């Protein structure tokens, strides 16, 4: 056997009795602390079990209730929420997995879509998000809005901007069979309604409200007569039409005016308005801004009377209040037996506005209860826009005098106002238009940091 290695003896640690006693005492303390720690650990586990077993009330709600809550987070249909950011449906999918599942399965959340195009890098992202909304809305009717804000320069051919608009128009048009409320505010003169007809038969079975507000005042479209006829036949449910600077001379040929109950016309000539008014036999609410071509002359003999038996609200503005229009020389005598609210630029009534309006009310035998006179005409000349001297007292005096002139002629009218708004004037405007545009513009600063293109939107 090999010899054993010599072992070294460990040195003895020298300690005093007091030190050893202190060590024993400290050891006892530490051993007691270990037992306490084990008890604390057990208590922690018990408390965690209690908390884990508890569910917050909101998490115990059935998916149907959560879905209803989500629908109250976004504006009521057909109003449209922002495409992303605050108040967007996409926010609801970023809280937790369960809420995302509910949001994705609630098709009504995605049926109202607004897209505002600006000069930034988000056009592709917006296309992707709009496409997601269209897919998630499944087969529901749609409320859509496509608005341009400064993406184009009239003097430049912006190929990238053209493509962005083309892609979104094509995306929306592909779902025209589900259109119910639609707004287009295009700067693009190639926006052509005939594209809808190309979607095949029954392309617009649900369309109730159509808005097209062009930003090109001089622009007028030439329509293929057959395609225009097809559009009229397809839009059998159309009841509301809002148009500005978009083929005003073609409106009777393109749109089924005889079906309309609400009509807004921005900047239209007297002659065009007269022709349109005669076809709108079911009209209930109408607002128009009239303009006068210098070459226009009243027809001789004057046209026959225009009777709209269901019209209750009428708002007539003058594109240039310095021009006296005398509307009845263009339209013939107007008869509105159901008229209750009238807002009108005084210059539209011609050189004798009070007399003209009194004759209209007496001829119509209407129950007019609210009258708003805007942009008063100088009572001395009857032709120039009357502008009182600056100052609150002068303006108040002018308003009082103007109001009293009509009060004396129309004592049965309950409310006569000057340069104000009718109670239901918001019928002719998008109630959240400007607010949504401003809100979404702020949110774009946050979203633009997420992506340079359309490939990073999966988290939505």
**pLDDT tens per residue across span 345-401:** 988 988 889 999 999 999 999 999 999 998 776 655 544 455 555 555 666 777 888
Structure tokens at 220: 């007028």
Higher pLDDT residue, 304 or 68?
A: 68
d(CA 107, CA 110) in angstroms, rounded, equals 6
Q: What is the mean pLDDT of the chain?
A: 79
What is the mean predicted confidence (pLDDT) over 173-184? 91
Taking 70 as the threshold, does the pLDDT of residue 2 lie above it? no
d(CA 115, CA 444) in angstroms, rounded, equals 12
Residue (of 366, 355, 458) closest to 405 by Cα position = 355
What pLDDT score was predicted for residue 322? 73
> Could you read off the pLDDT of 110-120 as tens digits, one per residue?
999 999 887 66
**Strands 262-269 and 306-307: what pairing?**
unpaired
What is the mean predicted confidence (pLDDT) over 398-408? 88
Taking 80 as the threshold, does the pLDDT of residue 221 lie above it? no
pTM of the predicted protein model = 0.79
Structure tokens at 105: 């399965």
Taking 70 as the threshold, does the pLDDT of residue 45 lie above it? yes
pLDDT band at 449 (very low <50, low <70, confident <90, very high): very low
pLDDT band at 438 (very low <50, low <70, confident <90, very high): very low
Domain assignments of the chain as residue spans, ordered by start: 261-423
Structure tokens at 264: 């807004």
What pLDDT score was predicted for residue 355? 92
Is CATH 3.80.10 the classification given to domain 261-423?
yes
Taking 50 as the threshold, does the pLDDT of residue 431 lie above it? no
d(CA 351, CA 407) in angstroms, rounded, equals 18
Instruction: Indicate the burial class of 181 (C-beta count within 10 angstroms; 0-12, 13-18, 19 or more).
Output: buried
What pLDDT score was predicted for residue 229? 59
Residue (of 392, 390, 420, 418) closest to 405 by Cα position = 418
What is the mean predicted confidence (pLDDT) over 325-345? 89
Instruction: Indicate the burial class of 171 (C-beta count within 10 angstroms; 0-12, 13-18, 19 or more).
Output: middle
What pLDDT score was predicted for residue 7? 55
Say which range, 78-92, 96-110, 145-159, 444-458, has the weakest mean pLDDT: 444-458
What pLDDT score was predicted for residue 457? 57
Higher pLDDT residue, 224 or 86?
A: 86
């Amino acid at each position: 056997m090999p010899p054993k290695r010599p072992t070294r003896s460990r040195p003895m640690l020298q300690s005093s009795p007091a030190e050893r006693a202190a060590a024993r005492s400290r050891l006892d303390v530490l051993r007691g602390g270990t037992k306490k720690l084990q008890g604390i650990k057990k208590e922690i586990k018990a408390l965690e079990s209690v908390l884990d077993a508890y569910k917050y009330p909101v998490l115990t709600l059935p998916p149907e209730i959560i879905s209803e809550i989500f629908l109250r987070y976004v504006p009521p249909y057909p109003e449209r929420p922002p495409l992303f950011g605050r108040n967007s449906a996409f926010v609801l999918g970023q809280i937790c997995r369960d809420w995302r599942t509910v949001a994705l399965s609630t098709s009504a959340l995605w049926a109202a879509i607004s897209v505002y195009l600006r000069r930034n890098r988000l056009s592709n992202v917006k296309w992707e998000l709009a496409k997601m909304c269209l897919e998630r809305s499944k087969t529901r009717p749609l409320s859509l809005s496509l608005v341009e804000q400064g993406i184009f320069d009239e003097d430049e051919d912006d190929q990238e901007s053209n493509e962005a608009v083309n892609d979104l128009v094509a995306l929306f048009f592909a779902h025209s069979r589900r259109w119910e409320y639609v707004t287009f505010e295009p700067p693009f003169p190639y926006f052509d309604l005939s594209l809808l007809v190309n979607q095949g038969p029954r392309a617009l079975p649900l369309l109730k409200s159509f808005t097209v507000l062009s930003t090109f005042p001089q622009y007028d479209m030439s329509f293929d007569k057959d395609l225009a006829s097809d559009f009229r036949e397809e839009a059998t449910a159309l009841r509301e039409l809002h148009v500005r600077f978009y083929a005003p001379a073609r409106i009777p040929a393109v749109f089924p005016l005889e079906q309309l109950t609400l009509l807004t016309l921005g900047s239209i000539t007297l002659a065009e308005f007269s022709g349109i008014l005669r076809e709108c036999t079911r009209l209930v609410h109408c607002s128009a801004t009239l303009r006068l071509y210098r070459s226009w002359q009243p027809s001789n003999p004057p046209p026959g009377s225009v009777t709209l038996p269901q019209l209750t609200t009428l708002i007539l503005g003058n594109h240039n209040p310095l021009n006296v229009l005398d509307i009845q020389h263009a339209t013939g005598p107007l008869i509105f037996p159901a008229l209750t609210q009238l807002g009108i630029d005084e210059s539209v009534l011609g050189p004798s506005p009070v007399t003209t309006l009194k004759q209209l009310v007496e001829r119509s035998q209407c129950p007019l209860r609210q009258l708003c006179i805007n942009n008063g005409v100088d009572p001395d000349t009857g032709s120039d826009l009357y502008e009182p001297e600056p100052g609150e007292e002068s303006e108040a005096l002018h308003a009082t005098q103007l109001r009293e002139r009509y009060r004396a002629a129309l004592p049965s009218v309950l409310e006569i106002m000057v340069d104000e708004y009718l109670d239901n004037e918001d019928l002719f405007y998008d109630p959240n238009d400007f607010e949504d545009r401003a809100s979404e513009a702020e949110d774009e600063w946050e979203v633009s940091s997420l992506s340079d293109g359309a490939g990073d939107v999966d988290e939505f």
